[in-house]
Structure 1
């Protein structure tokens, strides 16, 4: 097993020791909440009620496009559908969506080149038509009137906005 000079019993002893240490470590971690959080981490909320939790993106070294990619893989079209999205310790994203009747307009998550509204608008630009607009940084969505000017987002103070994606809900 390990060479001609090392008895197989030594190899079995090493494997058994590692297995026992692993079992003791798991048992200890599972009974101590602080140790469990330290060793295994905890899920981090990335989206809450359709708004991006930007501090969580920063903490987990994720970009907006990373988040959008995860959400698209879960068949999400816009942030107004998302009740909560968690970045799990496994590296996966868990998504809970609102029921169809509770979906509101939100930031579209298509790749930039495929967004129907084209490029974002910025502070100072005039609103061409009344409608819902979403902050491109946090997803905050407002109904804005034609002729008004875009102002910094009241949630995150960023300047880029885009037309929101409206839910298409069949209420029958």
Structure 2
């Protein structure tokens, strides 16, 4: 039966000290795996925290927790993990001084809306959930895209919105829930309609089906141009 404070077990779980070299190798591998995994989630997947903050939380949290209550986890390997992770972290943050590396790891700000219309290629690349995006815009008191001059996805995952002045507001795609859920293909009256897929506004005639000149889609919502009320 094991006794408490058997220092060979407490510190190394009776493993040879050379095992610490393997711990260092394991730390490097898992640090890189976690870093790349979080990078692949995209900006929205790590919203509110930077990639490196999440790496530190995940790796150090695991390293700290296990030796606290598992008797078969030695203290020295866990301490080695801490030292290695902090060293890797400082190395990567130093490398972020180089712009190319910083852009590769953290990405660049991305324009999602320009002049009241979606930047379709960027929306697809960033894998933006449209409903969530609309919800964030509505929280800024936006009810149609004609009020939005620019919307930028920051590297933090937050969205910065720049508005038209009230006198410059254009016709745009409505984004209120009851309207977003009920697009039409058949145009039953002449007027201005916004494409649901890209936000481009067209003046349409009565027709059974109309294709958007910008994105090639065929779902429409009647455009509106009321100014933003704060």
Instruction: Say if 1:84 and 1:39 are closer, same or farther in 2 by CA, change over 3 A.
Output: same
Secondary structure in 2 matching 1:47 = strand
Q: Deviation per CA, 1:68-121: give whole Å up to 9, x if none.
A: 11211221111001111112222211111111111111000111xx22x97322
Secondary structure in 2 matching 1:94 = strand
Correspondence for 1:104: 170
Provide structure 2 residue ranges, at least 5 long, that are not aligned to the other structure.
1-5, 12-74
Structure 2 length-normalised TM: 0.59
Instruction: Say if 1:149 and 1:27 are closer, same or farther in 2 by CA, change over 3 A.
Output: same
Query: In the alignment, is residue 160 of structure 1 matched against residue 219 of structure 2?
Result: yes
Cα distance in 2 for residues equivalent to 1:110 and 1:141: 17
The answer to whether the 8 Å contact 1:131/1:144 transfers is yes
1:24-103 alignment runs, 5 A limit: 24-30=91-97, 32-103=98-169
Cα distance in 2 for residues equivalent to 1:132 and 1:72: 22
Secondary structure in 2 matching 1:96 = strand
Instruction: Say if 1:58 and 1:11 are closer, same or farther in 2 by CA, change over 3 A.
Output: closer
Correspondence for 2:184: 121
1:134-153 alignment runs, 5 A limit: 134-145=194-205, 147=206, 151-153=210-212
Cα distance in 2 for residues equivalent to 1:148 and 1:20: 65
Shift of 1:132: 1.8
Cα distance in 1 for residues equivalent to 2:77 and 2:199: 60
**Alpha-carbon RMSD:** 3.0
Provide structure 1 residue ranges, at least 5 long, that are not aligned to the other structure.
none
Q: Deviation per CA, 1:28-47: give whole Å up to 9, x if none.
A: 212x1110011111121111
Cα distance in 2 for residues equivalent to 1:14 and 1:110: 49
Structure 1 length-normalised TM: 0.76
- Number of residue pairs matched? 160
Cα distance in 2 for residues equivalent to 1:35 and 1:157: 37
